[in-house]
Amino acid sequence: MMQPGSSVVLTAEMTLLVPPGTVIVLPGGRSLTLDATPNILTPLVGSTVTVPANATGIPTAMIYTNVSVDSLPTAIAKVSLIAGSASRSKPSLDVDGVGTAATLFGFGHLALDPSGDLYLQEGGSFRKVTASGIVTHPWEFTRGYINMIEGIAVDSKGTIYGVGAAAQQGNQGNPVLINYVSSAGILSSITNFLYVTGARNMTLPSDPRGGLAVDSKGNLYYSDRSTNQIFMIASPTQSSRPVFSVFSGTGALGIVDGKFGSINAPKDMAFDGNDNLYVKCGNAIRKIAPDLTVTTFAAQIPDMGDAIAVDRSGNVFVASQVGILRIDPTGKRTSYPMASVTGNNHTFDPGSIYTMVADNRGSVYVGVFLGVEVQGGQIYKVTY
């Protein structure tokens, strides 16, 4: 964090946290004074950043100069197409089948169950994708019924969770709706939460696009970018009124590490094997330890969408300009360019990656949206 009265000229691969009132002067002379609005900025190298002596308040902006993926170590990955057709001739985006015979909407999120099968949430349905590419609607009663928009998670018992907007189903008093299908195939919905504020402020979540994740104890976590908070739903299937509480984030705007640190607009998230939660926040990855300490695990990462994947060992994966970026637990970064992968006959634009999930055998499954002209989506397996 820059201190009041300090000034610095930006060089390559720098990251700064600055308070309101900070002035950025670009190489051409144009200047910008920051207000209290949370922001992530990438000025040109050579810009001057000055924090006035009278600047007060917590940091609300992150300033960084990009790390070029071209300067990172590279490695070869093997990419194989698991499921989804790229054909525009398909009459529906809801067709089950094997491999490219199946059609996908392309906006769904992925999760892995304990047996290694993928579950996809899209188009108001849960869909199952096996390792051999067999795509099905395992429960026909969910086809087009479940009001889900974004997140999906699977716990160790095989219970599958999805999140959507409760208000759209007439539950105006509760802003989010949690749907789940048990391992026995029973569909249930949770809207009757017991809200517990504790010592911290709680603003009810209002953005049903939040990500979902489950820890090793079966607690469900929901990220809400509208309130800058992550909520925990304790053992959601074990009570008729699960406890809904703030897990992390003060709700206040700012980029602050530490116990109960602030989190700006949390998006997708995933756990490692030690119940550390990693959250994609624009160009940064925040790490929340079980003791609720928030740290910035990685900054200056490419802002190529919301997708993030984490394996049991704590390797983190995000999309980059050229493929997939892997960050190991020590912070070392390795780039896996998709244009130079072994046996890749299905090169895709990394900017089209919509969702990712990692297994514990050295692979990442990637969901790709093919765009308006092509329609639909595909799922790839990337082995590193």
- Give residue 339's pLDDT band: very low, low, confident or very high (50, 70, 90): low
Q: Most confidently modeled of 117-131, 158-172, 329-343, 368-382?
A: 117-131
Task: Return the minimum-mean-pLDDT range out of 163-167, 178-182, 192-196.
Answer: 163-167
pLDDT tens for each residue of 198-238: 545 566 776 667 789 999 999 999 988 878 889 898 888 88
Q: How many CA atoms lie within 13 A of 9 on its CB side?
A: 2
Q: How far is CA 57 from CA 5, 36, 73, 264, 273, in A?
A: 14, 9, 39, 16, 36
The whole-number pLDDT of residue 167 equals 41
- Nearest-angstrom CA–CA distance, 65 and 20: 19
CA atoms of 137 and 360, how far apart (whole Å): 25
Instruction: Name the CATH architecture for the domain at 70-114+191-383.
Output: 6 Propeller (2.120)
pTM for this model (two decimals) = 0.81
Q: What is the mean pLDDT of the chain?
A: 81
* Cα atoms in the Cβ-side hemisphere of radius 13 Å centred on 281: 36
Each residue of 191-215: b (16+ CB within 10 Å) or e?
A: bebeeeeeeeebeebebbbbbbbbb
Contact 205/245 with Cβ under 8 angstroms?
no
Q: Average pLDDT for residues 3-20, to the nearest whole number?
A: 87
Q: Is the pLDDT confidence value at 330 over 90?
A: yes
What is the rounded distance in angstroms from the CA atom of residue 328 to the CA atom of residue 278?
A: 13
Q: Where along the chain do the CATH 2.120.10 domains lie?
A: 70-114+191-383
Average pLDDT of span 35-47: 79
Q: What is the DSSP string of 311-356?
A: -TT--EEEE-SSEEEEE-TT--EEEEEGGG-BT------GGGEEEE
Say if residues 272 and 287 touch (Cβ distance below 8 Å): no
| Of the listed ranges 94-103, 243-252, 264-273, the one predicted with least confidence | 243-252
pLDDT of 344: 43
